[in-house]
Structure 1
Amino acid sequence: MAPTVLEGRPVPEVDILFLGSPGVGKATFLSQIEHVRDGRLDRSTPREHKHAFAPTGSLGWDVSLFGRPYKFRIWPSTSTLFVDPFPDQPAFTIIAFSVSSRESLHNAQYYWRKQLSLHYADLEHAMPVMLLGLKRDERTEKRLEDGSFECVMPQEALRVAQEMQCDRYAECSALTGELMWEVLEDITRTAAMTTTENGAMGQGSMCSVM
């Protein structure tokens, strides 16, 4: 696909992988991208947003940052396996899990992260990776018989993100909107930075959203 040209300058196009096991909340999160209006995140949209959809391919949207437009395409995983037709040169990867499912965090760490390294070994040191906790609204402080928390707590997820060698950690609830816009802004800024000469690697410290 030829790059879009605006006023004589090509508009940067960024491919983003959105990995994670089915059921972690990716569809609800992606449905919020409907509220990117006129190249900016529309904060006037009500926080409560219950419509979700399951994309069958990449989802594109336009964002204006740093005084210029960008075109982003997000490629969600749709299977329990790494088998979707992902692009050859993604610029940024988000690995999602549900804070109410420890199994999904285990899958993020021991399946999705390893598959990402396996399939994109040549991009290992150039592509930023974010671990994203979804369904924040479902978190409780209920404990199991061994005294551990039933849900994944923020400090635990941050530790796992560090073990996964992720560059960022964030969490939100796409259903209620809690921290949703902050996470979307973090994603768009990181994606935009991948188009610069220095890239998005090492841009500040890892972000813990609590």
Structure 2
Amino acid sequence: PPIPNQLLPLLPSLTPQSPSSPLSVENRDHHHQPSIHLQPLSPNLLFQRSCVCVEAYTTASCLILSSPSSPVSPLVQIKMAEIRRKLVIVGDGACGKTCLLIVFSKGTFPEVYVPTVFENYVADVEVDGKHVELALWDTAGQEDYDRLRPLSYPDSHVILICFAVDSPDSLDNVQEKWISEVLHFCQGLPIILVGCKVDLRNDQKTIDELNKTSQRPVTSDQGEEVRKKIGAYKYLECSARTGQGVREVFETATRAALLTKSHKPKKPCSIM
């Protein structure tokens, strides 16, 4: 069916201009939830990964697009999430933050480590019957980015502070660095402490390597103890490599984010 007449003034350039504007569908994660990636049809529309931003039309529950060049179907329905939340993940470099996000949002484990500067992902999460579009903001843990990282914090709803189970030093930094930074820029937001790389806790090679410096992999009790000290909402463990606990981390984070109210700046009164 054609686009309703009442939408045409709001979306003047929604119709594809040429057959070079294909639409494609790919799986978002290992649960095969469909996401829709589109190339821009015009400068008035911005499509970034699976997040569809339509400035002129933000109240619709769904949007109908038709494209004669679609390799999937001549008719594609894009569901717009009614609830949007923002998650920011922080922690030491190489502690497993990016792998955690990629496995959850894309369903694949990246074998090559590439230090993050800033990267954004979008995932659809359904919790307690609510469909939430969760924006995932990845950050760099290296000290070189300490002055740049705070740009990620505004308008957040929940914070994940991560450490690596095979790196006791990264847990120490949760208390010495990360909690103070998060409380400074995100006061009042729910914080979830996440122990990454839990599959390495009983890995003999990891244990032998830590023994050289008289260290041991972080235990669950140690993680829970730090959670209490920093006042985090919850402590969870996961392994991006095996998938263990990954979905639970983001379902818990989404529930916590829903407890956070979105504060929009009020317009000042005008006295005539």
Distance 1:145 1:29, change over 3 A: closer
Distance 1:144 1:187, change over 3 A: same
Residue in 1 aligned with 2:168?
A: 102
Does the aligned pair in 1 maintain the 2:105–2:121 contact within 8 Å?
Answer: no
Identity in percent? 23
Distance 1:102 1:51, change over 3 A: same
Of the candidates 34, 50, 58, which is equivalent to residue 120 of structure 2?
A: 58
SS in structure 2 opposite 1:163?
helix
SS in structure 1 opposite 2:118?
coil
Residue in 1 aligned with 2:243?
A: 177
Query: How far 1:166 sits from its partner (Å)?
Result: 0.9
Is 2:159 the counterpart of 1:112? Answer: no
| Higher relative contact order (CA closer than 8 Å, sequence separation 6+) | 1
Aligned CA RMSD, in angstroms, stands at: 3.0
**C-alpha distance in 2, partners of 1:194/1:70?**
13
Superposition TM-score, scaled by structure 2 size: 0.57
**C-alpha distance in 2, partners of 1:183/1:10?**
20
CA deviation string 1:79-109 (max 9, x = no partner): 4243222142211100000000011111121
**C-alpha distance in 1, partners of 2:117/2:184?**
25
**C-alpha distance in 2, partners of 1:62/1:114?**
30
Ranges in structure 2 where 5+ consecutive residues have no aligned partner: 1-52, 63-79, 263-272
Distance 1:5 1:184, change over 3 A: same
Of the candidates 182, 188, 193, which is equivalent to residue 254 of structure 2?
A: 188
Residue in 2 aligned with 1:5?
A: 59
Structure 1 or 2, whichever has the larger Rg, is 2
Query: How far 1:134 sits from its partner (Å)?
Result: 0.1
**C-alpha distance in 2, partners of 1:175/1:55?**
22
CA deviation string 1:94-131 (max 9, x = no partner): 000000001111112110111112223xxx2x310011
Of the candidates 120, 136, 140, which is equivalent to residue 74 of structure 1?
A: 136
Does the aligned pair in 2 maintain the 1:130–1:167 contact within 8 Å?
Answer: yes
Distance 1:179 1:33, change over 3 A: closer
SS in structure 1 opposite 2:180?
helix
**C-alpha distance in 2, partners of 1:186/1:99?**
20
Query: How far 1:68 sits from its partner (Å)?
Result: 3.3
**C-alpha distance in 2, partners of 1:145/1:159?**
25
SS in structure 2 opposite 1:5?
coil
**C-alpha distance in 2, partners of 1:175/1:102?**
19
Residue in 2 aligned with 1:27?
A: 98
Is 2:238 the counterpart of 1:168? Answer: no
**C-alpha distance in 2, partners of 1:30/1:78?**
13
